[in-house]
Amino acid sequence: MEGNPRVDSSLGDYLVELRGIVKQFPGVLANDHVDFQLRRGEIHALLGENGAGKTTLMNVLYGIIKPDSGESYVKGRKVHIRSPKDAIALGIGMVHQHMKVVEPHTVVENVILGLKEPRFLLDLKEAASKVKQISERYGLKVDPFARIWQLSVGEKQRVEILKVLYRGADILIMDEPTSVLTPQETHELFSSLKTMAAEGKGVVYITHKLKEVFELSDRVTVMRKGKVVITRGTEGADERELAKLMVGREIFFHPERTARPPGKEMLVIEGLNAINDKGLPALKDVSLVVREGQILGIAGVAGNGQKELAEIIAGMRKCTSGRVSIGGADVTNKPSKFVFEKGLAYIPEERIGVGAVPTLNVAENLAVKSYRYRPFSNRGLLNREKMAASASELVKRFDIAAPSVETPALFLSGGNIQKVVLARELSGVTATEPPKVVMASYPTRGLDVGATEYVQKVLLQYRNEGCAIVIISEELDELLALSDELAVMFEGRIMGVLDRDRFDPESIGLMMAGRAAEVKGG
Protein backbone atom coordinates (compact mmCIF):
# COMPACT_ATOMS: atom_id res chain seq x y z
CA MET A 1 0.00 0.00 0.00
CA GLU A 2 1.68 3.11 -1.27
CA GLY A 3 2.28 5.79 1.24
CA ASN A 4 0.85 3.92 4.22
CA PRO A 5 3.38 4.53 6.96
CA ARG A 6 2.41 1.45 8.91
CA VAL A 7 3.30 -1.02 6.24
CA ASP A 8 6.89 -1.16 5.21
CA SER A 9 7.03 -2.96 1.92
CA SER A 10 10.71 -3.61 2.35
CA LEU A 11 9.75 -6.28 4.81
CA GLY A 12 9.12 -8.62 1.95
CA ASP A 13 7.92 -11.94 3.10
CA TYR A 14 8.89 -11.69 6.73
CA LEU A 15 6.32 -13.20 9.01
CA VAL A 16 7.78 -11.53 12.02
CA GLU A 17 10.18 -8.70 12.44
CA LEU A 18 11.40 -7.39 15.77
CA ARG A 19 13.46 -4.20 15.74
CA GLY A 20 15.53 -2.79 18.50
CA ILE A 21 13.87 -4.68 21.33
CA VAL A 22 15.10 -3.56 24.72
CA LYS A 23 14.01 -5.14 27.97
CA GLN A 24 15.55 -4.36 31.30
CA PHE A 25 14.96 -6.36 34.44
CA PRO A 26 16.28 -5.29 37.82
CA GLY A 27 19.99 -5.88 37.60
CA VAL A 28 20.12 -7.36 34.13
CA LEU A 29 19.60 -6.18 30.59
CA ALA A 30 17.81 -9.16 29.13
CA ASN A 31 17.39 -7.81 25.61
CA ASP A 32 19.83 -5.21 24.35
CA HIS A 33 18.54 -3.68 21.10
CA VAL A 34 17.73 -7.00 19.54
CA ASP A 35 16.76 -7.34 15.87
CA PHE A 36 15.16 -10.56 14.73
CA GLN A 37 13.30 -11.67 11.62
CA LEU A 38 11.37 -14.78 10.80
CA ARG A 39 10.71 -15.58 7.16
CA ARG A 40 7.77 -17.41 5.74
CA GLY A 41 8.43 -21.14 5.54
CA GLU A 42 11.58 -21.10 7.60
CA ILE A 43 12.66 -22.77 10.77
CA HIS A 44 14.78 -20.25 12.60
CA ALA A 45 16.87 -21.50 15.51
CA LEU A 46 17.55 -19.23 18.45
CA LEU A 47 20.73 -20.45 20.06
CA GLY A 48 22.22 -19.37 23.35
CA GLU A 49 23.04 -20.39 26.86
CA ASN A 50 21.09 -19.65 30.07
CA GLY A 51 20.11 -16.05 30.43
CA ALA A 52 21.11 -15.10 26.90
CA GLY A 53 17.77 -13.49 26.34
CA LYS A 54 16.13 -15.93 23.98
CA THR A 55 13.09 -16.71 26.06
CA THR A 56 12.67 -13.07 27.00
CA LEU A 57 12.63 -12.11 23.34
CA MET A 58 10.00 -14.66 22.52
CA ASN A 59 7.97 -13.67 25.54
CA VAL A 60 7.93 -10.18 24.08
CA LEU A 61 6.67 -11.55 20.80
CA TYR A 62 4.03 -13.62 22.54
CA GLY A 63 2.81 -10.76 24.65
CA ILE A 64 3.82 -12.09 28.03
CA ILE A 65 6.31 -9.27 28.48
CA LYS A 66 6.11 -5.68 27.35
CA PRO A 67 9.39 -4.38 25.93
CA ASP A 68 10.84 -1.11 27.17
CA SER A 69 11.37 -0.01 23.60
CA GLY A 70 11.45 -1.44 20.12
CA GLU A 71 8.98 -2.27 17.42
CA SER A 72 7.21 -5.41 16.39
CA TYR A 73 5.88 -6.21 12.94
CA VAL A 74 3.79 -9.23 12.14
CA LYS A 75 3.06 -10.06 8.49
CA GLY A 76 4.08 -6.62 7.44
CA ARG A 77 1.95 -4.65 9.88
CA LYS A 78 3.18 -2.84 12.93
CA VAL A 79 1.61 -4.30 16.02
CA HIS A 80 1.42 -3.80 19.76
CA ILE A 81 1.12 -7.16 21.42
CA ARG A 82 -0.15 -6.59 24.91
CA SER A 83 -1.07 -10.08 25.94
CA PRO A 84 -1.06 -13.65 24.65
CA LYS A 85 -4.61 -13.08 23.45
CA ASP A 86 -3.33 -10.46 21.01
CA ALA A 87 -0.56 -12.76 19.91
CA ILE A 88 -2.96 -15.62 19.30
CA ALA A 89 -5.21 -13.35 17.31
CA LEU A 90 -2.24 -12.49 15.11
CA GLY A 91 -1.55 -16.16 14.49
CA ILE A 92 1.31 -16.59 16.92
CA GLY A 93 1.44 -19.64 19.14
CA MET A 94 3.95 -20.64 21.78
CA VAL A 95 4.72 -24.08 23.11
CA HIS A 96 6.43 -23.72 26.45
CA GLN A 97 8.95 -25.93 28.07
CA HIS A 98 6.69 -26.65 31.01
CA MET A 99 3.45 -27.87 29.66
CA LYS A 100 0.16 -26.38 30.63
CA VAL A 101 -2.31 -29.15 30.27
CA VAL A 102 -5.12 -30.24 32.54
CA GLU A 103 -4.60 -33.86 33.47
CA PRO A 104 -8.07 -35.35 33.87
CA HIS A 105 -9.47 -33.76 30.71
CA THR A 106 -9.36 -35.36 27.30
CA VAL A 107 -7.13 -34.14 24.51
CA VAL A 108 -10.02 -32.46 22.73
CA GLU A 109 -11.13 -30.71 25.88
CA ASN A 110 -7.65 -29.35 26.42
CA VAL A 111 -7.43 -28.13 22.88
CA ILE A 112 -10.73 -26.26 22.95
CA LEU A 113 -10.23 -24.86 26.44
CA GLY A 114 -10.61 -21.12 26.61
CA LEU A 115 -12.01 -20.64 23.15
CA LYS A 116 -14.88 -18.25 22.72
CA GLU A 117 -16.78 -20.44 20.30
CA PRO A 118 -18.74 -22.63 20.68
CA ARG A 119 -20.20 -20.78 23.59
CA PHE A 120 -22.65 -23.24 24.99
CA LEU A 121 -22.93 -26.69 23.51
CA LEU A 122 -19.66 -28.43 22.85
CA ASP A 123 -19.69 -30.53 19.76
CA LEU A 124 -16.87 -32.74 20.85
CA LYS A 125 -17.14 -35.01 17.82
CA GLU A 126 -16.68 -32.11 15.45
CA ALA A 127 -13.81 -30.68 17.42
CA ALA A 128 -12.24 -34.11 17.59
CA SER A 129 -12.40 -34.58 13.85
CA LYS A 130 -10.83 -31.19 13.33
CA VAL A 131 -8.12 -32.15 15.77
CA LYS A 132 -7.63 -35.42 13.93
CA GLN A 133 -7.34 -33.56 10.66
CA ILE A 134 -4.63 -31.31 11.96
CA SER A 135 -2.81 -34.11 13.68
CA GLU A 136 -2.74 -36.21 10.55
CA ARG A 137 -1.64 -33.32 8.40
CA TYR A 138 1.40 -32.64 10.49
CA GLY A 139 2.18 -36.07 11.80
CA LEU A 140 1.21 -35.31 15.40
CA LYS A 141 -0.28 -38.66 16.32
CA VAL A 142 -2.55 -38.60 19.32
CA ASP A 143 -5.96 -40.00 20.22
CA PRO A 144 -8.38 -37.08 20.62
CA PHE A 145 -10.41 -38.81 23.28
CA ALA A 146 -7.50 -39.98 25.37
CA ARG A 147 -7.16 -38.42 28.78
CA ILE A 148 -4.04 -36.41 29.32
CA TRP A 149 -2.75 -38.50 32.22
CA GLN A 150 -2.71 -41.49 29.93
CA LEU A 151 -0.34 -39.84 27.50
CA SER A 152 3.42 -39.93 27.33
CA VAL A 153 5.32 -36.70 27.65
CA GLY A 154 5.88 -36.55 23.93
CA GLU A 155 2.17 -36.96 23.29
CA LYS A 156 1.37 -34.23 25.81
CA GLN A 157 3.61 -31.91 23.89
CA ARG A 158 1.72 -32.76 20.74
CA VAL A 159 -1.45 -31.65 22.46
CA GLU A 160 0.19 -28.31 23.17
CA ILE A 161 1.13 -27.97 19.52
CA LEU A 162 -2.35 -29.00 18.41
CA LYS A 163 -3.79 -26.33 20.68
CA VAL A 164 -1.69 -23.76 18.91
CA LEU A 165 -2.49 -25.02 15.41
CA TYR A 166 -6.19 -25.36 16.16
CA ARG A 167 -6.29 -21.64 16.75
CA GLY A 168 -4.88 -21.04 13.31
CA ALA A 169 -1.33 -20.19 14.19
CA ASP A 170 1.11 -19.82 11.39
CA ILE A 171 3.92 -18.61 13.57
CA LEU A 172 5.11 -21.16 16.09
CA ILE A 173 7.50 -20.56 18.91
CA MET A 174 8.99 -23.73 20.41
CA ASP A 175 10.89 -23.27 23.65
CA GLU A 176 13.44 -26.03 24.23
CA PRO A 177 10.98 -28.75 23.28
CA THR A 178 13.27 -31.73 23.20
CA SER A 179 14.44 -31.67 26.80
CA VAL A 180 11.56 -34.00 27.66
CA LEU A 181 11.43 -36.20 24.57
CA THR A 182 12.79 -39.58 23.62
CA PRO A 183 14.92 -39.72 20.46
CA GLN A 184 12.04 -41.25 18.54
CA GLU A 185 9.66 -38.52 19.64
CA THR A 186 12.25 -35.91 18.74
CA HIS A 187 12.46 -37.33 15.28
CA GLU A 188 8.69 -37.20 14.89
CA LEU A 189 8.59 -33.65 16.17
CA PHE A 190 11.16 -32.54 13.66
CA SER A 191 9.31 -34.03 10.76
CA SER A 192 6.11 -32.31 11.93
CA LEU A 193 7.90 -28.98 12.13
CA LYS A 194 9.38 -29.45 8.68
CA THR A 195 5.95 -30.18 7.28
CA MET A 196 4.66 -26.99 8.81
CA ALA A 197 7.51 -24.99 7.38
CA ALA A 198 6.97 -26.52 3.95
CA GLU A 199 3.42 -25.19 4.07
CA GLY A 200 4.64 -21.69 4.64
CA LYS A 201 4.39 -21.48 8.41
CA GLY A 202 7.30 -20.04 10.34
CA VAL A 203 8.90 -21.67 13.37
CA VAL A 204 11.15 -20.08 15.95
CA TYR A 205 13.06 -22.85 17.65
CA ILE A 206 14.78 -21.97 20.91
CA THR A 207 17.54 -24.38 21.78
CA HIS A 208 20.99 -24.81 23.17
CA LYS A 209 21.73 -27.98 21.25
CA LEU A 210 23.95 -27.66 18.18
CA LYS A 211 22.83 -30.98 16.76
CA GLU A 212 19.28 -29.72 16.48
CA VAL A 213 20.32 -26.45 14.94
CA PHE A 214 21.96 -28.31 12.11
CA GLU A 215 19.33 -30.96 11.75
CA LEU A 216 16.36 -28.68 11.75
CA SER A 217 16.93 -25.04 11.05
CA ASP A 218 17.29 -22.93 7.95
CA ARG A 219 18.76 -19.97 9.75
CA VAL A 220 20.25 -19.53 13.17
CA THR A 221 20.57 -16.52 15.46
CA VAL A 222 23.05 -16.72 18.31
CA MET A 223 22.38 -14.59 21.35
CA ARG A 224 24.69 -13.87 24.21
CA LYS A 225 24.08 -11.67 27.20
CA GLY A 226 21.04 -10.03 25.67
CA LYS A 227 22.60 -9.19 22.33
CA VAL A 228 22.37 -10.85 18.97
CA VAL A 229 25.85 -12.03 18.10
CA ILE A 230 25.13 -13.33 14.64
CA THR A 231 22.30 -14.28 12.35
CA ARG A 232 23.16 -16.49 9.41
CA GLY A 233 22.05 -19.38 7.30
CA THR A 234 22.61 -22.73 8.94
CA GLU A 235 23.98 -24.34 5.83
CA GLY A 236 27.72 -24.17 5.83
CA ALA A 237 28.05 -22.80 9.33
CA ASP A 238 30.93 -24.03 11.45
CA GLU A 239 29.73 -25.47 14.74
CA ARG A 240 32.89 -24.61 16.57
CA GLU A 241 32.45 -21.02 15.60
CA LEU A 242 28.84 -21.04 16.73
CA ALA A 243 29.84 -22.56 20.04
CA LYS A 244 32.49 -19.96 20.56
CA LEU A 245 30.06 -17.17 19.75
CA MET A 246 27.54 -18.67 22.14
CA VAL A 247 29.90 -18.72 25.05
CA GLY A 248 32.73 -16.42 24.09
CA ARG A 249 33.90 -14.24 26.85
CA GLU A 250 36.96 -13.19 28.74
CA ILE A 251 37.57 -15.34 31.70
CA PHE A 252 38.14 -13.59 34.97
CA PHE A 253 39.53 -15.48 37.89
CA HIS A 254 38.37 -14.73 41.37
CA PRO A 255 41.09 -12.92 43.31
CA GLU A 256 40.85 -15.24 46.30
CA ARG A 257 41.25 -18.32 44.22
CA THR A 258 44.74 -19.27 45.13
CA ALA A 259 46.44 -22.27 43.69
CA ARG A 260 46.20 -25.24 45.96
CA PRO A 261 47.34 -28.79 45.44
CA PRO A 262 44.29 -31.01 45.58
CA GLY A 263 44.01 -33.38 48.49
CA LYS A 264 42.54 -36.83 48.64
CA GLU A 265 39.34 -37.83 46.97
CA MET A 266 36.35 -36.72 48.98
CA LEU A 267 33.31 -37.13 46.74
CA VAL A 268 33.36 -40.01 44.31
CA ILE A 269 30.55 -40.68 41.87
CA GLU A 270 30.74 -43.70 39.64
CA GLY A 271 28.47 -44.71 36.82
CA LEU A 272 25.38 -42.96 38.08
CA ASN A 273 22.14 -43.56 36.24
CA ALA A 274 18.81 -42.11 37.21
CA ILE A 275 15.38 -41.23 35.94
CA ASN A 276 13.54 -37.98 36.47
CA ASP A 277 10.02 -37.34 37.74
CA LYS A 278 8.58 -37.92 34.31
CA GLY A 279 10.12 -41.34 34.02
CA LEU A 280 12.70 -40.34 31.46
CA PRO A 281 16.41 -40.93 31.90
CA ALA A 282 17.97 -37.97 33.66
CA LEU A 283 21.50 -39.17 34.27
CA LYS A 284 23.46 -41.48 32.02
CA ASP A 285 26.57 -43.07 33.40
CA VAL A 286 27.82 -40.03 35.28
CA SER A 287 31.20 -40.26 36.98
CA LEU A 288 32.90 -37.47 38.85
CA VAL A 289 35.62 -37.04 41.43
CA VAL A 290 36.02 -34.03 43.68
CA ARG A 291 39.01 -33.72 45.96
CA GLU A 292 39.65 -31.90 49.19
CA GLY A 293 40.26 -28.23 48.64
CA GLN A 294 38.77 -28.23 45.15
CA ILE A 295 35.78 -26.65 43.55
CA LEU A 296 34.10 -28.57 40.74
CA GLY A 297 31.79 -26.40 38.74
CA ILE A 298 28.97 -28.02 36.81
CA ALA A 299 27.96 -26.05 33.77
CA GLY A 300 25.24 -26.67 31.31
CA VAL A 301 21.87 -25.38 30.35
CA ALA A 302 19.29 -26.04 33.08
CA GLY A 303 17.34 -29.22 32.56
CA ASN A 304 20.18 -31.46 31.50
CA GLY A 305 20.26 -33.46 34.69
CA GLN A 306 21.88 -31.07 37.12
CA LYS A 307 18.89 -30.99 39.43
CA GLU A 308 18.70 -34.76 39.59
CA LEU A 309 22.43 -35.06 40.18
CA ALA A 310 22.33 -32.68 43.13
CA GLU A 311 19.34 -34.46 44.63
CA ILE A 312 20.95 -37.85 44.35
CA ILE A 313 24.16 -36.69 45.99
CA ALA A 314 22.12 -35.19 48.81
CA GLY A 315 20.12 -38.37 49.33
CA MET A 316 16.84 -36.86 48.21
CA ARG A 317 16.42 -38.96 45.11
CA LYS A 318 17.26 -42.53 44.28
CA CYS A 319 19.55 -43.57 41.46
CA THR A 320 18.91 -46.70 39.46
CA SER A 321 22.54 -47.74 39.37
CA GLY A 322 25.94 -46.43 40.28
CA ARG A 323 27.74 -45.45 43.42
CA VAL A 324 28.18 -42.31 45.48
CA SER A 325 30.65 -42.09 48.31
CA ILE A 326 31.65 -39.30 50.65
CA GLY A 327 34.98 -39.46 52.39
CA GLY A 328 35.18 -43.12 51.56
CA ALA A 329 31.78 -44.00 53.04
CA ASP A 330 29.17 -45.36 50.65
CA VAL A 331 26.08 -43.19 50.66
CA THR A 332 24.37 -44.58 47.56
CA ASN A 333 20.60 -44.36 47.89
CA LYS A 334 20.78 -43.71 51.60
CA PRO A 335 18.31 -41.29 53.20
CA SER A 336 19.27 -37.65 53.42
CA LYS A 337 19.78 -37.80 57.16
CA PHE A 338 22.47 -40.45 56.68
CA VAL A 339 24.17 -38.47 53.97
CA PHE A 340 24.50 -35.33 56.00
CA GLU A 341 25.72 -37.30 58.97
CA LYS A 342 28.50 -38.46 56.71
CA GLY A 343 29.53 -34.89 56.09
CA LEU A 344 27.55 -33.50 53.17
CA ALA A 345 26.25 -29.96 53.19
CA TYR A 346 23.50 -29.28 50.67
CA ILE A 347 22.53 -25.80 49.61
CA PRO A 348 19.35 -26.44 47.65
CA GLU A 349 18.16 -24.67 44.56
CA GLU A 350 14.99 -23.55 46.23
CA ARG A 351 16.09 -21.23 48.93
CA ILE A 352 12.65 -20.40 50.23
CA GLY A 353 10.49 -23.40 50.82
CA VAL A 354 13.23 -26.00 51.03
CA GLY A 355 16.44 -24.41 52.26
CA ALA A 356 14.67 -22.17 54.70
CA VAL A 357 11.12 -22.17 56.01
CA PRO A 358 9.79 -18.60 56.00
CA THR A 359 7.46 -19.03 58.95
CA LEU A 360 10.14 -20.43 61.22
CA ASN A 361 12.51 -18.07 62.95
CA VAL A 362 16.24 -17.79 62.38
CA ALA A 363 17.23 -20.05 65.26
CA GLU A 364 14.77 -22.73 64.18
CA ASN A 365 15.95 -22.58 60.58
CA LEU A 366 19.51 -22.91 61.74
CA ALA A 367 18.61 -25.95 63.79
CA VAL A 368 16.46 -27.72 61.25
CA LYS A 369 19.02 -30.47 60.69
CA SER A 370 20.97 -30.40 63.90
CA TYR A 371 18.04 -30.41 66.31
CA ARG A 372 18.13 -34.13 66.82
CA TYR A 373 21.69 -34.26 68.04
CA ARG A 374 23.26 -33.21 71.30
CA PRO A 375 23.53 -30.65 72.70
CA PHE A 376 20.41 -29.35 71.06
CA SER A 377 18.26 -32.15 72.24
CA ASN A 378 18.50 -34.95 74.70
CA ARG A 379 16.23 -37.99 74.62
CA GLY A 380 13.58 -36.16 72.68
CA LEU A 381 13.59 -32.97 74.70
CA LEU A 382 14.65 -29.85 72.90
CA ASN A 383 17.14 -27.50 74.46
CA ARG A 384 16.05 -24.15 73.12
CA GLU A 385 18.63 -22.21 75.06
CA LYS A 386 21.48 -24.05 73.40
CA MET A 387 19.76 -23.62 70.06
CA ALA A 388 19.51 -19.89 70.59
CA ALA A 389 23.10 -19.61 71.76
CA SER A 390 24.42 -21.50 68.78
CA ALA A 391 22.21 -19.42 66.52
CA SER A 392 23.62 -16.17 67.91
CA GLU A 393 27.10 -17.40 67.32
CA LEU A 394 26.36 -18.39 63.76
CA VAL A 395 24.63 -15.08 63.08
CA LYS A 396 27.73 -13.28 64.18
CA ARG A 397 30.09 -15.51 62.30
CA PHE A 398 28.22 -15.28 59.05
CA ASP A 399 27.21 -11.68 59.42
CA ILE A 400 23.50 -12.31 59.09
CA ALA A 401 21.44 -9.16 59.31
CA ALA A 402 18.44 -10.07 61.44
CA PRO A 403 16.87 -8.16 64.34
CA SER A 404 17.17 -11.23 66.54
CA VAL A 405 17.37 -14.99 66.30
CA GLU A 406 13.64 -15.06 67.04
CA THR A 407 12.80 -13.14 63.88
CA PRO A 408 10.82 -15.20 61.38
CA ALA A 409 12.82 -15.87 58.26
CA LEU A 410 10.28 -14.25 55.99
CA PHE A 411 11.41 -10.85 57.20
CA LEU A 412 14.95 -11.39 56.00
CA SER A 413 16.26 -10.31 52.62
CA GLY A 414 17.10 -12.96 50.04
CA GLY A 415 20.77 -12.59 50.70
CA ASN A 416 20.41 -13.01 54.40
CA ILE A 417 18.22 -16.05 53.99
CA GLN A 418 20.97 -17.61 51.89
CA LYS A 419 23.42 -16.72 54.64
CA VAL A 420 21.21 -18.62 57.07
CA VAL A 421 21.29 -21.63 54.77
CA LEU A 422 25.05 -21.35 54.38
CA ALA A 423 25.57 -20.92 58.10
CA ARG A 424 23.58 -24.01 58.85
CA GLU A 425 25.06 -26.19 56.17
CA LEU A 426 28.64 -25.13 56.54
CA SER A 427 28.72 -25.69 60.24
CA GLY A 428 27.93 -29.35 59.88
CA VAL A 429 25.94 -31.75 61.90
CA THR A 430 26.62 -30.47 65.35
CA ALA A 431 26.91 -26.88 64.17
CA THR A 432 30.58 -26.78 65.02
CA GLU A 433 32.63 -28.56 62.42
CA PRO A 434 32.92 -27.99 58.69
CA PRO A 435 31.42 -30.49 56.28
CA LYS A 436 33.48 -32.73 54.05
CA VAL A 437 31.55 -32.01 50.86
CA VAL A 438 29.44 -29.02 49.93
CA MET A 439 26.84 -29.38 47.19
CA ALA A 440 25.63 -25.92 46.17
CA SER A 441 22.80 -25.59 43.63
CA TYR A 442 22.53 -22.19 42.02
CA PRO A 443 23.75 -20.56 45.23
CA THR A 444 23.70 -16.97 44.00
CA ARG A 445 20.53 -17.06 41.97
CA GLY A 446 18.39 -14.02 42.60
CA LEU A 447 20.85 -12.37 44.95
CA ASP A 448 22.14 -8.82 44.68
CA VAL A 449 25.78 -8.02 44.03
CA GLY A 450 26.79 -7.77 47.66
CA ALA A 451 25.16 -11.01 48.67
CA THR A 452 26.57 -12.79 45.61
CA GLU A 453 30.07 -11.66 46.48
CA TYR A 454 29.62 -12.83 50.02
CA VAL A 455 28.44 -16.29 49.02
CA GLN A 456 31.30 -16.72 46.58
CA LYS A 457 33.77 -15.56 49.18
CA VAL A 458 32.48 -18.02 51.74
CA LEU A 459 32.57 -20.92 49.30
CA LEU A 460 36.15 -20.12 48.40
CA GLN A 461 37.03 -19.82 52.05
CA TYR A 462 35.77 -23.28 52.80
CA ARG A 463 37.53 -24.60 49.74
CA ASN A 464 40.76 -23.12 50.99
CA GLU A 465 40.24 -24.86 54.28
CA GLY A 466 39.90 -28.24 52.65
CA CYS A 467 36.27 -28.82 51.76
CA ALA A 468 35.37 -30.47 48.48
CA ILE A 469 32.80 -28.27 46.80
CA VAL A 470 30.46 -28.84 43.87
CA ILE A 471 28.71 -25.80 42.44
CA ILE A 472 25.91 -25.97 39.93
CA SER A 473 25.21 -22.64 38.35
CA GLU A 474 23.72 -21.11 35.25
CA GLU A 475 26.14 -18.23 35.44
CA LEU A 476 29.11 -19.46 33.47
CA ASP A 477 31.14 -16.46 34.59
CA GLU A 478 30.70 -17.49 38.17
CA LEU A 479 31.79 -21.03 37.50
CA LEU A 480 34.77 -19.94 35.48
CA ALA A 481 35.86 -17.60 38.22
CA LEU A 482 35.52 -20.03 41.08
CA SER A 483 36.14 -23.52 39.78
CA ASP A 484 39.28 -25.57 39.76
CA GLU A 485 37.64 -27.95 37.36
CA LEU A 486 34.63 -27.52 35.15
CA ALA A 487 32.31 -30.33 34.10
CA VAL A 488 29.70 -29.73 31.45
CA MET A 489 26.44 -31.63 31.48
CA PHE A 490 24.31 -32.29 28.46
CA GLU A 491 21.32 -34.61 28.29
CA GLY A 492 22.33 -36.36 31.47
CA ARG A 493 25.90 -37.02 30.50
CA ILE A 494 29.15 -35.42 31.49
CA MET A 495 30.42 -34.20 28.15
CA GLY A 496 33.84 -33.50 29.56
CA VAL A 497 35.74 -32.16 32.51
CA LEU A 498 38.12 -29.30 31.91
CA ASP A 499 41.03 -28.41 34.06
CA ARG A 500 41.46 -24.79 34.98
CA ASP A 501 44.28 -24.14 32.51
CA ARG A 502 42.18 -25.40 29.71
CA PHE A 503 39.09 -23.26 30.20
CA ASP A 504 38.37 -22.27 26.65
CA PRO A 505 35.08 -20.83 25.40
CA GLU A 506 35.00 -22.90 22.29
CA SER A 507 35.33 -26.22 24.06
CA ILE A 508 32.88 -25.23 26.74
CA GLY A 509 30.40 -23.98 24.20
CA LEU A 510 30.65 -27.17 22.19
CA MET A 511 30.09 -29.30 25.24
CA MET A 512 27.15 -27.25 26.43
CA ALA A 513 25.64 -27.57 23.01
CA GLY A 514 26.08 -31.29 22.82
CA ARG A 515 29.40 -32.02 21.26
CA ALA A 516 31.95 -33.88 23.31
CA ALA A 517 35.25 -32.07 23.32
CA GLU A 518 38.42 -32.53 25.23
CA VAL A 519 38.45 -34.86 28.15
CA LYS A 520 40.27 -33.75 31.25
CA GLY A 521 43.95 -34.16 30.76
CA GLY A 522 46.55 -34.82 33.37
- Contact positions vs other proteins (CB under 8 A): 84-85, 100, 102-105, 109, 112-114, 118-122, 124, 147, 149, 314, 316, 335-337, 340, 346, 348, 350, 353-360, 364, 367-369, 371-372, 377, 380-382, 384, 410-411
504: closest CA among 522, 489, 490, 486? 486
Taking the CA atoms of the chain, what radius of gyration do you get in angstroms? 25
How many angstroms separate the CA atoms of 313 and 299, rounded? 17
Phi, psi of 190 (to 5 degrees): -60, -40
Provide, rounded to whole angstroms, the least separation between the CB of residue 412 and other proteins.
Answer: 12
Cβ proximity to other proteins, 134 vs 368, nearer residue: 368
Cβ proximity to other proteins, 78 vs 147, nearer residue: 147
Cβ proximity to other proteins, 120 vs 252, nearer residue: 120
Q: How many CB atoms lie within 10 A of CB 261?
A: 8
Cα torsion 406, 410, 415, 419: sign: positive
Contact 401, 412 (CB under 8 A): yes
Q: Quick one: which H or E segment has residue 454?
A: helix 449-464
How many angstroms separate the CA atoms of 19 and 363, rounded? 52
Provide, rounded to whole angstroms, the least separation between the CB of residue 215 and other proteins.
Answer: 33
Cβ proximity to other proteins, 21 vs 101, nearer residue: 101
Cβ proximity to other proteins, 350 vs 406, nearer residue: 350
Phi, psi of 323 (to 5 degrees): -140, 140
Contact 201, 171 (CB under 8 A): yes
DSSP state of 279: S
Q: For helices 124-138 and 153-166, what crossing angle results, to 10°? A: 110
Cβ proximity to other proteins, 122 vs 251, nearer residue: 122
**Strand 77-79's sheet: what is its strand order?**
28-39, 14-25, 69-74, 77-79
Q: Amino acid identity, residue 58?
A: M
How many angstroms separate the CA atoms of 69 and 72, rounded? 10
Cβ proximity to other proteins, 255 vs 379, nearer residue: 379
Q: 496 - beta bridge partners?
A: 488
Cβ proximity to other proteins, 259 vs 381, nearer residue: 381
Cβ proximity to other proteins, 82 vs 187, nearer residue: 82
Contact 371, 382 (CB under 8 A): yes
SS3 category, 342: coil
Q: How far is CA 362 from the centre of its chain?
A: 29
Contact 438, 459 (CB under 8 A): yes
User: Is 47 buried (19+), middle (13-18) or exposed (0-12) by CB count in 10 A?
Assistant: buried
Provide, rounded to whole angstroms, the least separation between the CB of residue 136 and other proteins.
Answer: 24
18: closest CA among 190, 175, 173? 173
Cβ proximity to other proteins, 195 vs 377, nearer residue: 377
Cβ proximity to other proteins, 114 vs 450, nearer residue: 114
* Cα pseudo-dihedral 126, 130, 135, 136, rounded to 10: 100
